[in-house]
């Protein structure tokens, strides 16, 4: 597990981000995963809102990016988002049209940097294997049913290492988030969706 000294991502003030997530590297990394997922959606929605001339919707999404960027320590991106949010609120279309393209590019670069950091590496003890992944998913299902937290944690850790495909890795992180918040039914639904995908 990375620590505060080994987490190095261009575009992030990791020290600030860690302080805002309780100083826990594992929680910070989970937050980065959530930011990556949300950021991809925000890119689409920001572009769509400008294309349709919906400035109020643009403000909502740019505010969301600003808040999330602040939380993870993407301070420069958050400042740029704040300026765009203020411009959107006053309907300063000229400012938005001038500065939004660079903002979107910087957001894409940050998302790429976060992706590259989060991408799991192959390990000798937990190599990518479809049968092993299915076994771990089924073991996780059982562990959730009987509330075996030790096994849940072991399964989640192994699945994060196993999933080389980005979409799968994000889904595993979602499952972990649902378990942490007690949303076991949602976690079970996502596990089922992965098992169906792996059974093709």
Structural domains in the chain plus CATH codes:
14-118 (1.20.120.160), 130-198 (no CATH)
Question: Coil, strand or helix: which one is 135?
Answer: helix
pLDDT tens string 165-200: 667 888 898 999 888 888 889 999 999 988 887 655
Whole-prediction pTM value? 0.60
Range scoring the smallest mean pLDDT among 1-15, 102-116, 117-131 = 117-131
What's the pLDDT score for residue 124? 41
pLDDT tens string 51-86: 999 999 999 999 999 999 999 999 999 999 999 999
What's the pLDDT score for residue 41? 87
Nearest to 34 by CA among 136, 121, 111, 108: 111
What's the pLDDT score for residue 125? 42
Count of alpha carbons within 13 angstroms of residue 106, beta-carbon side: 19
């Amino acid at each position: 597990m990375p620590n505060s000294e080994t987490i190095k991502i261009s575009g992030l003030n990791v020290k600030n981000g860690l302080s805002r997530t309780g100083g826990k590297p594992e929680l910070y990394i989970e937050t980065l995963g959530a930011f990556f997922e949300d950021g991809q959606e925000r890119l689409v929605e920001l572009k769509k809102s400008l294309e349709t001339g919906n400035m109020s919707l643009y403000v909502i999404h740019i505010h969301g990016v600003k808040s999330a960027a602040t939380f993870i320590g993407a301070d420069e991106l958050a400042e740029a988002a704040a300026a765009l949010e203020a411009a959107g609120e006053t309907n300063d279309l000229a400012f938005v049209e001038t500065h939004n393209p660079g903002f979107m590019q910087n957001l894409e670069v940050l998302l790429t940097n976060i992706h590259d950091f989060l991408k799991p590496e192959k390990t000798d003890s937990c190599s990518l294997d479809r049968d092993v992944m299915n076994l771990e998913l089924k073991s996780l299902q059982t562990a959730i049913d009987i509330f075996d937290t030790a096994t849940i944690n072991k399964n989640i850790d192994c699945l994060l290492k196993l999933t080389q495909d980005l979409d799968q890795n994000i889904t595993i992180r979602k499952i972990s988030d649902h378990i942490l918040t007690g949303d076991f039914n949602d976690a079970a639904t996502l596990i089922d969706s992965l098992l169906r995908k792996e059974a093709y």
